[in-house]
Amino acid sequence: MKNKKVLGDDYSLSRVPQSARQSLWSITIVRVGALATISQFILGAALGYGMTFWEAFWATMFGSVILQVISFLLGYAGAREGLSTSLLSRWTGFGRYGSSIIGAIIAIACIGWFGVQNSVFADGLVQATNGKLSLPVAATLTGLGVTILVIFGFKLLSATATIAVPAFLLAVGVGIYAVLSKHSLFDLTHTAPAGDPLTMGVAATMVAGGFIIGAVITPDFSRFAKSGKDVFWMTMIGTFVGELGINMIAVLMAHAARTNDVVSIMMQTSGWLGAIVVVFSTIKINNLNLYSSSLGFTNIFDSVFNIKLNRGMVTLVIGVIGTVLSVMGILDMFVGFLVLLGVFIPPVAGIMVIDYFILKTHRKALDESRANGTLPADVEKMSPVTLIAWAAGFAAGYFVTAGIPSINSLVVSAVVYYFGSKIYITMRNKKDANKIAA
């Protein structure tokens, strides 16, 4: 069975066929674009303001390794099956209804951040035009512009990132040079931090927690990879260039400027290039926000209502909604809510990894259907064990203060799901055996 490609649909409810897979460059540039952002600079500056260079290095390294492991495992599964996160989750522990909940969380979180980032993007345009464009007009132009780009799918995302990522890095490089050229790099690596000290646990939490949702939605993009090897290099380059590289540069800048507000300093010193930094940073991240949100919504309607929506049309609708909300300026009130949604995401990774790689609950059905380019015919509703493991993971991430909250939630959900599934299967088999005996 051949997958028919409809404009804007981008295989949102089917496997990505080998004929539609993309080059290593195409998927990696999108991944780097997701990490090389203004928010990553802000994170790195916060580390540098409260830690020495080498303390910040090890905190970033630890957090990056965690993100790399999660990203690669889920990304590998997504590439092998050619499925997005929300679709893959149907056969990795969550079933039809659980996958729709995941789709809803990802969709709402991403459309919310789309609106928030669009406000930042629009503000950058207002500054670049010296106020000739009003904020509502700029927000409308930027929101609808990004929406149109995303409608056309992954290929255009990759083409946009090919332009945006180098432009972003070039503009940032000018600002970095302006700040760091007056200082000795050796001295900066041995400088005491200017702010209150950060502990290693808090710092690693900031690094891992800052991109945990991005790690979980890796299959949304890795499904276009040609092989597991490509997924490894995509995640490795993305994590260590975008996470480790950007973070450590920002740490040095925080030490040089003796402040955590290095973004403002960098943009002031680079003039109009500073506006380009904001524009290209938000274009890249908002492409991905809207893309993953559209995949989540198409999965919800398919799972719950058995309605197959075109992803391009879904993108248009939610892009308009996100744009209108950003124009109205009400999204800032929802940032706390969006952060809370983020606590629900790490357990998803724990459950999916355990189910796909260890329990292999639906691997036979996935393997057989993959050979035909189709999806497994049967989908369970949702295992009670999944709900229990998800709730336990959320509680661990939200209430346990020791360690790294996002990792606590992931590990607890994985352990509870593994042992819970073993117990549930044993009890069900015993029940079936008793019925046969009777």
Cβ proximity of 35 and 242 under 8 Å: yes
Model confidence band, residue 413 (pLDDT cutoffs 50, 70, 90): very high
pLDDT at 224: 96
48 contacts 260 by C-beta, under 8 angstroms: yes
Q: How confident is the model at residue 21 (pLDDT cuts 50, 70, 90)?
A: very high
pLDDT of residue 335: 60
CA dist 438 and 436 (Å) reads 5
18-345 CATH, one of 1.10.8.60, 1.10.4160.10, 1.20.1300.10, 3.40.50.300? 1.10.4160.10
Phi and psi torsions of 398, nearest 5°: -90, -40
Spatial CB neighbours of 210, under 8 Å, sequence gap ≥ 6: 39, 40, 43, 63
pLDDT at site 3: 47
Residues 352-373 pLDDT 10s: 999 999 999 999 999 999 999 9
Least confidently predicted of 59-63, 136-140, 269-273, 308-312 = 269-273
Per residue in 298-346, pLDDT (tens digit) is 999 998 888 888 888 899 999 999 898 888 876 666 666 656 676 788 8
Average pLDDT over residues 381-385: 89
Asked if residue 269 has pLDDT above 70, the reply is: no
- Determine the pLDDT at residue 205: 78
State the pLDDT confidence band at 2, using cuts at 50, 70 and 90: very low
The answer to whether the beta carbons of residues 224 and 16 sit under 8 Å apart is: yes
Helix (H), strand (E) at residue 172 = helix 154-180
Chain segment 73-113, per-residue pLDDT in tens: 999 999 999 999 999 999 999 999 999 998 888 888 888 87
Amino acid at 240: F
Q: What value does the mean pLDDT take over residues 390-402?
A: 89
Highest mean pLDDT of the ranges 111-120, 291-300, 425-434: 291-300
Q: Is the pLDDT of residue 65 over 90?
A: no
- Measured distance CA(399)–CA(396) in Å, rounded: 6
When comparing pLDDT for 234 and 130, which is higher? 234
d(CA 87, CA 413): 20
Helix (H), strand (E) at residue 383? none
**CA dist., res. 388 & res. 375, Å (int):** 27
For the segment 120-146, the average pLDDT, to the nearest whole number, is 82
Q: Give the separation between CA 366 and CA 349, rounded to whole angstroms.
A: 19
Q: What are the contacts of 55-59 at 24+ separation with CB within 8 A?
A: 55/198, 55/200, 55/203, 56/203, 56/247, 56/248, 56/251, 57/248, 57/251, 58/200, 59/198, 59/200, 59/203, 59/204, 59/206, 59/207
The candidate with the shortest Cα–Cα distance to 150, out of 321, 331, 328, 293, is: 293
Q: Give the confidence band of 286 by pLDDT, cuts at 50, 70, 90.
A: confident
Q: Which two tokens stand for residue 119?
A: 């406000």
Residue 77 confidence (pLDDT):
98
Q: What is the mean pLDDT of residues 376-400?
A: 91
- What's the rounded mean pLDDT across residues 222-230? 96
Report whether pLDDT(278) > 60: yes
**φ, ψ dihedrals at 392, nearest 5°:** -65, -40
Better pLDDT: 174 or 314: 314
Lowest mean pLDDT among 92-96, 211-215, 277-281: 277-281
Confidence of residue 289 (pLDDT cuts 50, 70, 90): confident
The answer to which of 124-138, 272-286, 380-394 has the lowest mean pLDDT is 272-286
Most confident option among 80-94, 181-195, 196-210 = 80-94
What pLDDT shows up at residue 22? 94
Does residue 195 sit in helix, strand or coil?
coil
Reply yes or no on whether the pLDDT at 275 is more than 60: yes
